[in-house]
């Protein structure tokens, strides 16, 4: 019996034979739920060494560049249209937040978020383990630390730390939050977004729900479990809400429509198909998405917590 990675409790199966819909990594995984604390986790857990290879092979700079999809994504993120989209479709990466002070974007990739945080008043720096992505972010003029968070010793603390769809990738989310606590200034805030383990879309799309994202997503948090872990690691939640991005719904729909077919990962990166589906989802389903967010069944948890 696999034990819960946070509390050691007994874990039972909630979903069997989950597959990687994003990149087509071969294999099947099980999602387990802890009967003691409610955390869900992917089983078997990949080792740190396996994850390193997986990220270098598939993620961002290891995978694709200069494709229509990446080109389209780059242009959109830096355009006025993106600001409108943040308002209409929800901001899961805190790209619309304004403020001042030192901000650390943990897992900053090629630094697209750093551009936006800087534009909105912050003094942003990045943390990125992928050397190629870190170099690309530095080429934009930013300070990027290519070091594991556990070994990161900044000369000055940060006022904000962003974990935008990052915490669920950690083999030890408790250690990650303790490290964030260590690098924050007193009353500094951590901003977290991650998929909601209580999303109603899990029931709709089943194994095709895009946010299982095995084997890259190690843990699957409910809002309650996330808040409990934040409190345990020295944080007080100051804001919590839910968002259901039309992009995520569109990706789940595509993964469902092309389930089990070799073109599935490629179809998830078709800009016109995505844009069309997003317009349909946002245009027709908005009352349903709004309601789901309000009753705790949205697709993405968005939480701000202050260091205490
Ligand atoms: Zn547990």
Local confidence pLDDT in tens for the 308 residues of the chain: 789 999 999 999 999 999 999 888 999 999 999 999 999 999 999 999 999 888 888 876 444 556 667 677 777 777 888 888 888 888 999 999 999 999 999 999 999 999 999 999 999 999 998 888 899 999 999 999 999 999 999 999 999 999 999 999 999 999 999 999 999 999 999 999 999 999 999 999 999 999 999 999 999 999 999 999 999 999 999 999 999 999 999 999 999 999 989 898 899 989 899 999 999 999 999 999 999 999 999 999 999 999 99
Q: Are 105 and 120 in contact (CB under 8 A)?
A: no
Q: Is residue 288 part of a domain?
A: yes
Determine the longest span between alpha carbons in the chain, in angstroms: 51
> Could you tell me the distance, in angstroms and rounded to a whole number, from the CA of residue 176 to the centre of ligand 1?
17
CB atoms within 10 A of CB 105: 31
Please give the pLDDT value at position 283.
Answer: 92
Tally of domains in the chain: 1
> Could you tell me the distance, in angstroms and rounded to a whole number, from the CA of residue 11 to the centre of ligand 1?
8
* C-alpha span between 240 and 228 (Å, rounded): 13
> Domain of 244?
49-307
Give the neighbor-by-neighbor strand order of the sheet with 219-220.
11-18, 29-34, 40-43, 219-220
* C-alpha span between 233 and 254 (Å, rounded): 38
Q: Is residue 30 part of a domain?
A: no
Q: Is residue 3 part of a domain?
A: no
> Could you tell me the distance, in angstroms and rounded to a whole number, from the CA of residue 33 to the centre of ligand 1?
8
* C-alpha span between 291 and 294 (Å, rounded): 5
Q: Is residue 117 part of a domain?
A: yes
Provide the CA 303 distance to its chain's centre, in angstroms. Answer: 12
What pTM value is reported for the model? Answer: 0.94
Q: Is residue 120 part of a domain?
A: yes
> Could you tell me the distance, in angstroms and rounded to a whole number, from the CA of residue 212 to the centre of ligand 1?
18
The CA-to-CA distance between both ends of the chain, in Å, stands at: 36
The CATH number of residue 137's host domain is 3.40.50.150
Q: Is residue 253 part of a domain?
A: yes
């Amino acid at each position: 019996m696999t034990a819960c990675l946070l509390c050691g409790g007994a874990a039972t199966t909630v979903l069997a034979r989950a597959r990687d819909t994003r990149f087509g990594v071969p294999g099947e995984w099980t999602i387990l739920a802890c009967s003691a604390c409610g955390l869900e986790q992917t089983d078997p857990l990949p080792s740190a060494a396996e994850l390193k290879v997986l990220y270098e092979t598939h993620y961002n700079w290891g995978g694709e560049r200069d494709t229509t999809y990446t080109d389209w994504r780059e242009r959109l993120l830096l355009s006025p249209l993106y600001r409108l989209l943040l308002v209409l479709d929800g901001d899961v990466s805190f790209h619309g937040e304004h403020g001042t002070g030192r901000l650390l974007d943990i897992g900053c990739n090629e630094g697209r978020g750093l551009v936006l945080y800087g534009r909105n008043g912050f003094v942003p720096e990045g943390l990125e383990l992928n050397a190629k992505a870190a170099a690309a972010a530095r080429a934009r003029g930013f300070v990027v630390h290519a070091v594991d968070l556990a070994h990161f010793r900044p000369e000055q603390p940060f006022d904000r730390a962003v974990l935008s769809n990052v915490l669920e990738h950690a083999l030890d989310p408790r250690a990650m939050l303790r490290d964030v606590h260590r690098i924050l200034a007193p009353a500094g805030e951590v901003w977290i977004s991650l998929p909601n383990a209580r999303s109603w879309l899990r029931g709709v799309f089943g194994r095709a729900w895009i946010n299982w994202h095995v084997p890259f997503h190690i843990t699957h948090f409910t809002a309650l479990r996330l808040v409990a872990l934040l409190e345990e690691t020295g944080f007080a939640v100051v804001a919590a809400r839910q968002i259901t991005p039309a992009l995520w719904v569109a990706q789940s729909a595509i993964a469902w429509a092309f389930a089990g077919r070799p073109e599935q990962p490629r179809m998830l990166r078709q800009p016109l198909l995505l844009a069309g589906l997003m317009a349909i989802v946002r245009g027709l389903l908005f009352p349903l998405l709004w309601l789901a967010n309000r009753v705790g069944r949205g697709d993405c948890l968005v939480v701000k917590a202050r260091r205490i």
